[in-house]
Amino acid sequence: METESSRHPTIRGVYALADTSLLAGAELIARVEAALRGGAAVVQYRDKSVDSARRLTEAQALRALCARHGATFIVNDDVDLALSVGADGVHLGRDDPAPALARVRLGPRALIGATCYDRLELAPAALGAGADHVAFGRFFPSSTKPGQIYASLDLLRAARASLSCPIVCIGGIRADNAAPLVAAGADALAVGNALFGPGVDSEAAARALAALWKR
């Protein structure tokens, strides 16, 4: 296991979406730790509530877990929270602060991701504004983002051919449908329900996803 001082945060592999709409509190922490044991390499904390005290407590606990397991810890949307807990970075969508502002607040070493949905042309602008990795999706039906338009494998292949940054895929991803995404150049697979849904063995699910890069 890596020590805190030797960690080099990266965006690669199983990217666990620790979404409090799926689980929270002690169960959230326990299930994320199980996913980390199974090989999750990135954890993103996602909480849309206004309960700032709970959000801070959960983010601190997840940050500590990731440090112990040598994993990267990302906060969704909230640059202030990411800064408060010493997160490795933040992920931003179209309604969030601009990557340039996040870069100023978090510094040159922070990992800043930008969602580009199904539009490759958004990626160069995001990277030029301070992001260092991008996400595309949804690629499959998703209960957490049911209204989003689909991204295609052709889009992913085009992104891989034109971008040198890490590429994250998101949206309805499971171990049994993700192999084409890895083959097309995905650096990381962002997964929520398939890791943390009801009745899911989070450790086994993470292990099955992590195995996709070993084939």
User: Binding site membership for Mg(2+): which residues?
Assistant: 77, 96
d(CA 174, CA 177): 6
Phi then psi for residue 152, to 5 deg, are: -115, 165
Binding-site residues from annotation:
44-48, 76-77, 96, 115, 142-145, 172
Place of tokens 């607040």: 105
Of 159, 74, 154, 69, residue with least CA distance to 110: 74
Phi, psi of 160 (to 5 degrees): -65, -35
Residue 105 backbone dihedrals phi, psi, to 5 degrees: -70, -40
Q: Which two tokens stand for residue 141?
A: 């039906």
DSSP symbols for 45-99: EE--SS-HHHHHHHHHHHHHHHHHHT-EEEEES-HHHHHHHT-SEEEE-TTS--H
